[in-house]
Amino acid sequence: MANEMSGITTHEALLVRLRAAVVSLGKNHCSAEQVDDMVDEVADALAAVRLDRERLQRQVESLRQQVIDAAGDRVRDAVLTMAEDAMRDAHRRAMNESLMMADLQRARAQRQRALLALEASDARPNLDNPKEDR
């Protein structure tokens, strides 16, 4: 892992060590047991890299799920807010329509009373000026 900081990946470092072991064996600089030990070290390091990769994959999946959940929460909150706004608007419109209907009914009633008053005044004789009555 320290090699990763120097720009060499763990895989590259492991390959370099394995090649060195093979070259040393080929030149008889080390025994078969020493090469086996090097290969075991490389295999252990590869296993550690695999475990790290799997751990990182689980972390990435967990983070991805958290992002999805957070986005889902935001979407749900946005939808709820939009629904609440729509309900308030619908209620406001219904109240306005209700008020307009009440105003319309009052206007109709006033009109009806005015028509009745007009009919009543037309039906009564004009006592001040009897000639206009005809």
In a domain, 86, yes or no: yes
Size of the chain, expressed as the number of residues it contains:
134
Q: How many CA atoms lie within 13 A of 126 on its CB side?
A: 8
Whether residue 83 is contained in a domain is answered as yes
Whether 91 maps to a domain, the answer reads yes
Establish if 107 belongs to a structural domain.
Answer: yes
Q: In this model, does residue 1 exceed pLDDT 60?
A: no
Q: Tell me, yes or no, whether 115 lies in a domain.
A: yes
**What predicted TM-score, i.e. pTM, was given to this entire model?**
0.43
Which residues span the domain enclosing 25?
A: 2-121
Mean pLDDT of the chain: 80
Q: Is residue 130 part of a domain?
A: no
pLDDT of 129 reads: 64
- The domain tally of the chain equals 1
CB 10 within 8 A of CB 45: yes
Q: Does 58 have pLDDT greater than 90?
A: yes
Asked whether the beta carbons of 39 and 22 are under 8 A apart, the reply is: no
What would you measure as the largest C-alpha separation in the chain, in angstroms?
147
Q: How far is CA 32 from the centre of its chain?
A: 60
- Higher-confidence residue of 92 and 122: namely 92
